[in-house]
Amino acid sequence: MTDYFLDIEYNSIVYDEKEVNLKEFECCTFNNCDFSQCIFVAVTFIDCTFNDCIFSGAKINYVAFRTVFFNRCKIEDVNFAMCDKLIFEIHFKECVLDFSKFYTLKIKGTTFIDCSIIAVDFMSTDLTEVIFDNCDLYRSEFAKAIANKANFKTSYNYTIDPSKTKIKKAVFSLNELKGLLYKHDVIVK
């Protein structure tokens, strides 16, 4: 039986391995909470907000994120690829997502604002209309991704091979054009 929690604010809680399992949270806010030891099983977050939380290293294989906002969170080395894909919607602001994985997910319309997204796996991910606003995408992998209408204009350090990634009508800045031409060994000044 799943426990249901509505419109509750949680502050400065360090969760153990199974403490949030088999629970559904709706319209809840988590402030300064640590989920890094969690191995999530059958957990649902609907219209929830996480502020200054730590997820680094958490196992989120069986989590449903339905309109969830992460603000100033550390989410390093987290594999989102096995999350529940039904109504999957997430947004990130001022987060550290380094070494995380979004492999094969459909994250259309997701926003990444002022995030560190270093060495993140976006391979085969549907990034249609995703906004990368002022994000560091150093060594992130986009092979076989669909980034049509994605906005990279204010982001930097990306390396995207247009022959391996669909980028129709995607927006890039002239300053970062080198990230699209790297494989051709040309110099852009």
Hunting for tokens 């949030």 — which residue is that? 20
Predicted confidence (pLDDT) per residue in 119-130, tens digit: 999 999 999 999
The H or E element that residue 68 is part of is strand 63-71
Residue range 26-53: mean pLDDT, rounded = 97
Hunting for tokens 């969170």 — which residue is that? 73
Please give the Cα distance from 144 to 133 (Å, whole number): 22
Predicted structure pTM score: 0.93
Enumerate the β-bridge partners of residue 44. Answer: 24, 64
Residue 183 pLDDT: 64
Predicted confidence (pLDDT) per residue in 68-124, tens digit: 999 999 999 999 998 999 889 999 999 999 999 999 999 999 999 999 999 999 999
Please give the Cα distance from 50 to 31 (Å, whole number): 6
Rg of the chain over CA atoms, in angstroms?
17
Residue 7 pLDDT: 98
Please give the Cα distance from 5 to 158 (Å, whole number): 40
Contact 9, 27 (CB under 8 A): no
Residue 137 pLDDT: 98
